[in-house]
Amino acid sequence: MTKKFSQRAEDLRRALAQEAARIMAEHGIEDFLQAKRKAADRLGVNDVAVLPKNIEIVDALRAHQRLFGRETHDHTLREQRRIALDTMRLLAQFQPRLVGSVLTGTATNYSDINLHLFADASETVALHLLDLGVPHEFYERRVKMDAERSVNYPALRFEANGRSVDATVFPIDGIRQSPYSPVDGRPMKRADAREVALLIDAN
């Protein structure tokens, strides 16, 4: 009985991961918890114990993207990475790093381009954008720095060639410590402009 229940729970967990991945891919939802809740609601699941981990949803998302519209996904990802690289070059003085789904390759057509910038003050980034004639808006982003500590950092949102760019501004020494990834709880992968250019050339 226990084995049968365990197998049923695993099957349900897998189905939830696949549904959450579909929701993220087709509806532009990037928040894992929101996608899990919508998937659970659609499948009529009330037991939080069977909700999938974020990494399981990412694996299901990769599988979904391979199966459905792979050429479209690859084209969109190349475009997003090219725009990211162009933007990073414009912001070179702030040592930009690409992070998130555009870097890892799981971005959907709705995904923002996420950058980490490093400056003494976020106002210097804002002034630079003004000099470039780029409208932007300020907000605060809560970033998990380790298992027990989250910090609010200033962030700017703006458009670049029709794509939304979300840039979080860290202190200059923040380049030494990458925040925790919401996917697997490990230090977030960051890529500089050279690494992003290599990614584009490789595809």
Judge if 62 and 84 occupy the same domain.
no
Q: Which residue has the higher pLDDT, 139 or 146?
A: 139
**What's the number of domains the chain is made of?**
2
Q: Which of 15, 46, 67 is the last residue of a domain?
A: 67
pLDDT digits (tens, 9 = 90+) for 14-31: 999 999 999 988 888 888
pLDDT of residue 148: 83
Q: How many residues does the chain have?
A: 203
Q: What is the DSSP letter of 146?
A: S
Beta bridge partners of 136: 158
Is residue 43 located within the same domain as residue 118? no
Domain that holds residue 60: 2-67
Q: Are residues 35 and 80 in the same domain?
A: no
Q: Which residue has the higher pLDDT, 191 or 43?
A: 191
106 and 152 fall within a common domain: yes
Shared domain check, 96 and 114: yes
Residues 151 and 81 grouped into a single domain: yes
* Per-residue pLDDT tens digits for 28-63: 888 899 999 999 999 988 888 889 999 999 999 989
CB neighbours (10 Å) of residue 28?
A: 12
Cβ atoms of 96 and 125 within 8 Å: the answer is no
Q: Are residues 114 and 26 in the same domain?
A: no
Predicted confidence (pLDDT) per residue in 81-122, tens digit: 999 999 999 999 999 999 999 999 999 999 999 999 999 999
Q: Which of 67, 82, 109 is the last residue of a domain?
A: 67
Picking from 14, 42, 67, the residue at the C-terminal end of a domain is 67
CB count, 10 Å around CB of 42? 13
CATH of the domain at 134: 3.30.460
How far are the Cα atoms of 34, 149, 197 from residue 201, in angstroms, in the given order? 34, 37, 6
Q: Is the same domain home to 40 and 126?
A: no
